[in-house]
Amino acid sequence: MGLSVDVEKRFRDFTLCVRLETEKGTLALLGASGCGKSLTLRCIAGIEKPDRGRIVLDGVTLLDSERRIWLAPQERHVGLMFQHYALFPQMTVAQNVMCGARRSLRSAQREKAVREALERMGIAHLRDRLPGQLSGGEQQRTALARILVSEPRILMLDEPFSALDSHLRFRMEQEMRAVIRDFEGPVLLVSHDRDEVYRMADRVAVMENGRIRRIGTRDEVFRDPGTRTGCMLTGCKNISRVRVLDAGHAMATDWGITLALPLRPGTDALGIRMHSIRPGPGENTFRCRVTGVVENPFSYTVMLRPLAAPGSSETIGWEMEKPVWKALRAEEITVHFPMDGLLQLKG
């Protein structure tokens, strides 16, 4: 059971080469725009035809280039929610949802399924409206109802909240989580928003340039994102190149500091989240000059430059709650980089 994907598709200046396995639960594809995450969904849905590969969903082979199997999108029973929902503009909400209802059912049963889906998404009162007359949230509920009524074996959400205003986003996320919780099959979520991914996903795959660079549970990937891109995508803004000095020491060249840190083979960059830096003594302590303070709604970001570092080195951001900085406030300050906050990165 579940989904198994191994596909390759070449374009002139881009190659998609994705391998992944997933079962019930939410797998997020996290990546910058143009990395191939939406394309992966389209390959699974059968809208895009890979050059070679194999896709198996719940034991049914959707694609096998060697055995020349290619199921039409209509035969795949996948639910794909497009970024802008792709509601049919000239059909009412009820007619849109009816398009999803299984054609094998009798018309009375289809009517009933549509009614239930509309009620479940709380849009029964909108059934005779056209998509153009709906708010963003209502459009998304309609799209979701249309997909759920088709009883898909997999739910694929392509940047589901990107078309919504930020205040709506949070509410729709709650509703979406409820839908996902009740859903029997695997869920694929495509997103470039690490907060959204963190809140919604059980597992995370970091995509870069058509490939999955790191896949694991949400906590594994956020604790150890593996690559420079993965590090940035999971929201880490302090990244420096790194060079081995000896078995126990490394030089972070962009920050201009030496750390007591055994590097894993192949590591060529280090990251540290703005929240991971701690004040006061401890391992890897640095005396820093404060070069700037940025005030956020609920926190301060303090920009630091180690005293030992040359003037050309990059500043390091340190974010903390407002009362913390108010108590610490100084021109020069000693901070330490806890061992478990240092992310070792490749490429």
Partner 1 sequence: MDLFPLWNSLRIAGLSTALIFFAGILSAYYIARCPRIIKGILDGVLTLPLVLPPTVVGFLLLRLLGPRRPLGAWLLQQFGLRMTMTWWSAVIATSVVIFPLMYRTCRGAFESFDETLAAAGQTLGLSNTYIFWRIRMPQCRPGILAGTVLAFARALGEYGATSMIAGYTPGRTATISTTVYQLWRTNDDALAFRWVLVNMGISLLVLIAVNLLEKRERRR
Among 53, 79, 306, 317, binds partner 1 (CB under 8 A): 79
Stretch that binds partner 1, among 87-95, 193-201, 231-239, 273-281 (CB under 8 A): 87-95
Type and span of the H or E element at 120:
helix 107-120
- The answer to whether the beta carbons of residues 140 and 172 sit under 8 Å apart is yes
Q: How far is the CB of 34 from partner 1 (least distance, A)?
A: 17
Torsion angle defined by CA atoms of residues 145, 147, 150 and 152, in that order, rounded to the nearest 10 degrees: -130
Among residues 82 and 337, whose Cβ is nearest to partner 1? 82
- CB nearer to partner 1: give 90 or 174: 90
Residues 131-190 that bind partner 1 (CB under 8 A): 146-147, 150
- Tell me 263's DSSP state: P
CA distance 50 to 65: 9
Site for partner 1 contains 72 (CB under 8 A): yes
Other CB atoms closer than 10 Å to residue 78's CB: what's the count? 25
Under DSSP, is residue 196 helix (H, G, I), strand (E, B) or coil? helix
Which position among 16, 39, 78, 335 is part of the footprint of partner 1 (CB under 8 A)?
78
Size, binding site for partner 1 by CB under 8 A: 25
Distance in Å, CB of 152 to partner 1, minimum: 8
Contact flags string 30-69 toward partner 1, x per CB under 8 A: ------------x--xxx----------------------
Residues 97-136 that bind partner 1 (CB under 8 A): 99-100, 102-103
SS3 content of the chain, % helix, strand, coil (to 5): 30, 35, 35
Give the C-alpha separation, 76 to 337, whole Å.
50
Q: Which of 271, 269, 268, 313 is nearest to 288 (CA)?
A: 313
11 makes contact with partner 1 (CB under 8 A) = no
Q: Which residues would be at the binding site for partner 1 (CB under 8 A)? A: 42, 45-47, 72-74, 76-80, 82, 84, 86, 88-90, 99-100, 102-103, 146-147, 150
